[in-house]
Amino acid sequence: AIHPFYTASIREFEAAGRSIVGSGPVGVEGTVAWLSAIGEACGVGKPLVEAAQNRLVPAIRGALSAMPITGRITLSGYEGSELLVARLLVESGADLRYVGTACPRTPWSEPDREWLAARGVMVNFRATLEQDLAAMAEFQPDLAIGTTPVVQKAKQLGIPSLYFTNLISARPLFGPAGAGSLAQVVNAAIGNKGRMNAMKAFFAGVGEGDTAGTWQDTPQLHPDFREKFARRAAKAKAAAEEIP
């Protein structure tokens, strides 16, 4: 089982007496552990498993070292592959601080959670938007990978960001093909910090607060009106509270 949304399939396999293997062959350590688990579940001899590991690991390690990722990252999504992507980012060299997933904590994601936690990554299951945004505010990442509202907030703050669904989770993750697959898009996004700062400065104050919306002319603020209606509202509230 390599996807937590396959719970119905897992129930059928368990009812048939079949073994369930969690996680996935991501990065060096993930691939070694996953192949060992597959070998054990399928009754494959240790020499054959080790032969497969010895064939794949050098290629994965070489791809990771050739395409390193540098920078602090927060990650959130709802696809179900968040923890696998997180492992690949860490093995690529990223300073990953937070992973939020909409999926629940399951026995099959536990190896990934333990691996990430051992490396100081905060893992949050059933994460809410508020929790994802709080993590971004706390860790001040060089790159925020997340859902649409997370990316929107990051852009407002001038933080480079990537949509998890179409820019990250759609890429290869497993084996040699997955190793290094994230580096190009992630490093390019982190490198856009200067551009984000320039855009934030250029658009500062536009479309915020009283100036939000589409205007033919420059909006004219009337703080006296705001104060007048605030006093009127306070008076009406006080009068309502006096009614027995």
Domains of the chain by start residue, with CATH:
7-201 (3.40.50.1980)
Closest C-alpha among 28, 26, 36, 18 to residue 2? 26
Counted residue by residue, the chain has a size of 244
Predicted confidence (pLDDT) at residue 99 exceeds the cutoff of 90:
yes
Q: pLDDT by residue (tens digit) across 35-80?
A: 999 999 899 999 999 999 999 999 999 999 999 999 999 999 998 8
pLDDT, tens only, 145-202? 999 999 999 998 999 999 998 889 888 899 998 888 899 899 999 998 888 888 878 8
Per DSSP, helices labelled H in the chain are 7-15, 27-42, 46-66, 82-91, 110-117, 129-139, 148-156, 164-167, 175-178, 183-190, 193-202, 223-242
Dist. CA 56–CA 196, nearest whole Å: 39
Strands 72-77, 143-146: pairing kind: parallel
Q: Is the pLDDT of residue 120 over 90?
A: yes
pLDDT band of residue 34 (cuts 50, 70, 90) is very high
**Whole-number average pLDDT of the chain:** 89
Neighbouring C-beta atoms of residue 35, cutoff 10 Å: 21
Strand partners, 99: 75, 123
Where does the pLDDT of residue 244 fall: very low under 50, low under 70, confident under 90, or very high at 90 and above? low
Give the number of other CB atoms < 10 A from CB of residue 167. Answer: 16
Kindly indicate the confidence band of residue 20, based on its pLDDT and cuts at 50, 70 and 90: confident
Longest dimension (CA), the chain: 85
pLDDT above 60 for 2? no
Chain-centre distance for alpha carbon 27: 17
Amino acid identity of residue 155, one-letter, is: K
Q: Cα separation of 195 and 73, whole Å?
A: 18
Q: Percentage of the chain with pLDDT > 90?
A: 55
Cβ burial, residue 91 (10 Å; 0-12/13-18/19+): buried
Amino acid 1: pLDDT: 52
As a whole number, mean pLDDT of residues 115-136 equals 97
pLDDT the model gives residue 148? 94
Residue 163: beta bridge partners? 146
Per-residue pLDDT, 131:
97
Q: How far apart are CA 38 and CA 157, in angstroms?
A: 44
Give the helix/strand (H/E) hosting 161: strand 161-163
Please classify residue 120 by burial: count the beta carbons closer than 10 Å to its beta carbon, then call 0-12 exposed, 13-18 middle and 19+ buried.
Answer: exposed
Residue 192 identity: N
